[in-house]
Amino acid sequence: MNLSIPWTLAVLAAGGLCLWVIVAFNRLVRSRNLLREGWSGVDVQLKRRHSLVPNLLECVKGYSRHEQAVLERVAALRSRAAGDETLAQRRTDENALTDQLRGLFALAEAYPDLKANRSFLDLQTQLADIEDQIQMARRYYNGAARNYNILVESFPGNLVARAFGFARAEFFEIETATHREAPKVEV
């Protein structure tokens, strides 16, 4: 009779440990899915911006034929960013694209007819809206990444994370102060 009590306690402890591992694993999976959902939101907004770029380039092209280098850089960055494999590459290329788009709008200041063009103004307004949406999606993604990283890195969840191959998530950060500024739209 005394022998059955330790066995019962051992079975209960093993069952409790298994239950804890299952709960911890499910929390990690739930958090990883929120992280993926967050990245999907960022990706959708970046694709919206990418689809706007050709229209913007076409609108500007007629006014600034001798500024071809700027237009080509914007087009090249758009193509490169769309094909990036890693988050770090994508972040770098998207930040560079943002810089080039800012340069394109600064260039437009030299062309009064372009600044008055209704299509250009509409595209500029749409781009400002998309940039706001990108920022909101980026904040959601980074919040999901923070929560996921807390689960992956804190004890005792890190034991389950390591055992099942959950790795730390990267943040989608803006690298310079000029990237943090909201796009300026003059109407």
Q: Is residue 8 part of a domain?
A: no
Q: What's the structural domain count of the chain? A: 1
* CA distance linking residue 124 with residue 126, whole number of Å: 5
Most confidently modeled of 53-57, 63-67, 86-90, 152-156? 152-156
**pLDDT tens digits for range 2-21:** 678 888 998 999 999 999 99
Q: Is residue 186 part of a domain?
A: no
Q: What is the pLDDT of residue 126?
A: 93
Q: What is the pLDDT of residue 83?
A: 82
Q: Is residue 93 part of a domain?
A: yes
Q: What is the pLDDT of residue 5?
A: 86
CATH of the domain at 175: 1.20.1440.20
Between CA 144 and CA 150, with CA 146 as vertex, the angle to 5 degrees is: 115
- Lowest mean pLDDT segment, chosen from 71-85, 111-125, 149-163, 172-186: 172-186
Q: In the structure, what pLDDT confidence band is assigned to residue 187 with cuts at 50, 70 and 90? A: very low
Contact (CB, 8 A) for 108 and 100? no
pTM, two decimal places: 0.80
What is the SS3 string spanning 118-175?
Answer: HHHHHHHHHHHHHHHHHHHHHHHHHHHHHHHHHHHHCCCHHHHHHHCCCCCCCCCCCC
Tokens, residue 100: 């080039």
Expressed as residue numbers, the domain containing 155 is 14-180
**pLDDT tens digits for range 126-136:** 999 999 999 99
Rounded to 5 degrees, φ, ψ at 45 are -70, -40
Q: Is residue 3 part of a domain?
A: no
| Of 37, 60, 32, the residue nearest 161 (C-alpha) | 32
| Of 67, 29, 182, 58, the residue nearest 120 (C-alpha) | 58
